[in-house]
Amino acid sequence: MIEANGLVKDYKAVRALDDVGLRVGRGEIFGFFGPNGAGKTTCIRVLCGLTQPNGGEAKVLDIDVVRHPVWVRDNIAVLSEETRFYEEMTPRRYLNMFAKFNLMKRDERLKAINKVADLADLRSFIDQRIAFLSQGQRQRVSLARVLLSDAPLLFLDEPFEGVDIIHRRKLRQHFRNYVNQGNTIFFTSHNLIEAEHIVDRFAFIHHGKLIACGTASELKDKYLMPAYMLHVSDPQRARQVLDRELRLQGIKIVEGQVAVTLQRRADAPEVSKVLFREGIDLFEMKSMGTMEEVFERTARGEVG
């Protein structure tokens, strides 16, 4: 779906991209993360055919981005923060215009507009002029416009911005159904904790370099200590038993639960076995690491 090798882009004395390589397959939600100024926007603009790289090569949907940027743009849909609107239109008319561009018939258009208006939470202002909408509302109109597309590849920048929790759940399910049909989402956000609910693979970029790439499980295994929070029937006995039976870096009771850090992640299955053998019920074993911690460690050049 996306192949990029050795991408380089210089802006005067600053190298925005430094030999970045990516491979994104069909049927996945690929998360691309980094701080402001890390090179995310430049990389995405290159992949969308909006910015020419100084070196390297990239293919999107098997199309050479450098040779055929317009062809690439004709086959993708992009949600960004810089969308321009027809200010005198309402969101309903705006979406109807794009539905016509997609050659939808009238009945099909009405059905599609109602669906995306619900997904993007536009119902309360769908017939107000766009000129009077807030920035968050405009972002949701842009999201609805992208959701109208039947493109096999979506570039989504902060798609959940301004969307309430109920509609976020609907969006997550919609995105999962979309990729299950063999399509792909290239996803960017500043909220890594929320991203764990939707992203299949993560890539982190820092100072123009790709510093880590993998699933949440792979990256946590590599960069984080094997720390867990245990909800058990008898925290005091569990602490004593685990401290005696396993090789631990630390163990303590926190608000009625047992916080344990193992020396080896491979010992994690032994926790439940030991507790079961001692007659202690384990109700939940939750990993304590987050993808925010993974990014912090990778950005500092630390290796787990």
pLDDT at 28: 96
pTM over 0.85: no
297 found inside a domain:
no
Q: What is the pLDDT of residue 303?
A: 54
Spatial distance between the Cα atoms of 231 and 228, rounded to a whole number of angstroms: 10
Task: List the structure tokens of 63.
Answer: 């199309």
Q: Is residue 52 in some structural domain? A: yes
Same-domain pairing of 211 and 157 = yes
Residue 12's pLDDT is 57
Whole domain around residue 146: which residue ranges? 2-215
pLDDT of residue 37: 79
Give yes or no: residues 62 and 147 share one domain: yes
Answer yes or no: is 302 within a domain. Answer: no
Q: Is residue 54 part of a domain?
A: yes
Per the structure, how many domains does the chain have? 2
Q: Which helix (H) or strand (E) holds 196?
A: none
Sheet holding 153-157: strands in order across? Answer: 77-79, 153-157, 184-188, 29-33, 201-206, 209-214
Instruction: Specify whether 66 is located in the same domain as 199.
Output: yes
* Amino acid found at 281: D
Along the chain (304 residues), what's the average pLDDT of each consecutive run of 10 residues? 80 67 93 86 88 87 92 92 80 95 92 95 95 91 93 93 87 95 94 90 90 90 89 95 93 94 90 95 91 86 60
- Together in a domain, 236 and 198: no
Q: Which of 215, 250, 271 is the last residue of a domain?
A: 215
Q: What does the pLDDT read at residue 289?
A: 84
- Same domain, yes or no: 262 and 149: no
Residues 120 and 236 in one domain: no
Question: Same domain for 65 and 197?
Answer: yes
Clarify whether residues 38 and 163 are in a common domain: yes
Same domain, 54 and 176: yes
The answer on 236 and 137 residing in a single domain is no
pLDDT of the residue at 290? 86
Give dist(CA 200, CA 285) in Å, integer: 22
Point out which residues pair with 287 in neighbouring strands: 228
